[in-house]
Structure 1
Amino acid sequence: MSWLIYGLLSALFASFVAILGKIGIQNVDSNVATAVRAVVMAVATLLFITFNGTIGHIREISMRPLLFIILSGLAGAASWMFYFGALQQASASKVAPIDRLSIVFTLVLAALFLKEKVNLGMVAGCALIVIGSVLIVKA
């Protein structure tokens, strides 16, 4: 599968996170819900790599990549905690567009830390994302 199909499937399933999470956190502490979600994700991921035969590759990860994978996991956990906290206080249709501002943050951080090139089209796209997010939240 191409990166675009993976990306679209990621976006589709991310929308389910908002909808199912919003339903699931009713009368449940958002931090507890996030912990349950994390356990389910860990088990599902371990099952996936077991069945596709790549679980043995875990031992092949050297220290530097492992450090950054761990840091990425911590950032993801923080993101989930704040996401579910926001869902508990606001509608999914308002939280999701704000969460998607991560696209803008990612572009800026990728330019700064990964030295990825930024062009006018990317800046314009980010501006439209910000405008769109503001319009959705204010609607």
Structure 2
Amino acid sequence: MTSLTGAWQFWALLAAVFAALTAVLAKVGVAEIPSDLATFIRTLVVAALLFLIVSATGQWRSPASLPSRALVFLALSGLATGASWLCYFRALKLGDAARVAPVDKLSVVLVAVFGAVFLGERLAPANWAGVALIALGAWLVTLG
């Protein structure tokens, strides 16, 4: 049996909790400064925290020792993350956190589609029904 901290569900739930806190805290933080500057400050905090974690846990390795394919895809992922954060903070600056965050979570729908198309992942019909409900829920949040 897998321990709680060894289960993906545990970490996914924590990610959701922290993402929710991100939206609420960022909405307050971005109120008085430009959204791009807010994103930059957040990025510096994330980088510093990760530097401390990687250093403290002995995970640091020279980038030259890492597989080039991994580095290319991580760099592309970093660019996508940066673009996502810039757009997210701009949306928070302009809209309600309670509406912005659910629309942002359409990424869940896109990950399911991209995972199936590009990674060959398979979801059962019940899983696709859940993905459709997420899409419907995000659309409903935008009404009004």
- TM tier, shorter chain? over 0.9
Cα shift readout 1:13-48 (whole Å, capped 9, x = no counterpart): 000110000000012110111011111111110101
Q: 1:3 aligns with which of 2, 5, 8?
A: 8
Which residue number in structure 2 is paired with residue 65 of structure 1? Answer: 70
Is 1:36 paired with 2:41? yes
Count of matched residue positions in the alignment of Structure 1 and Structure 2: 139
RMSD of aligned residue pairs (Cα, Å): 1.3
Gaps of 5+ in 2: none
Is 1:22 paired with 2:44? no
Gaps of 5+ in 1: none
Task: Tell me, in whole angstroms, the C-alpha distance in 1 between the residues paired with 2:10 and 2:96.
Answer: 28
Which residue number in structure 2 is paired with residue 137 of structure 1? Answer: 142
Between the two proteins, what is the percent identity of the paired residues?
38
Give the TM-score of the pair, scaled to structure 2.
Answer: 0.91
Task: Tell me, in whole angstroms, the C-alpha distance in 1 between the residues paired with 2:118 and 2:18.
Answer: 28
SS in 1 for 2:32: coil
Give the TM-score of the pair, scaled to structure 1.
Answer: 0.94
Hey, which bits of structure 1, 4+ residues long, moved more than 6 A?
A: none
Which residue number in structure 2 is paired with residue 116 of structure 1? Answer: 121
Task: Tell me, in whole angstroms, the C-alpha distance in 1 between the residues paired with 2:51 and 2:63.
Answer: 11
Task: Tell me, in whole angstroms, the C-alpha distance in 2 between the residues paired with 1:61 and 1:122.
Answer: 35
Which residue number in structure 2 is paired with residue 100 of structure 1? Answer: 105
How far residue 127 of structure 1 moved from its aligned partner, in angstroms, is: 1.1
Task: Tell me, in whole angstroms, the C-alpha distance in 1 between the residues paired with 2:130 and 2:102.
Answer: 14
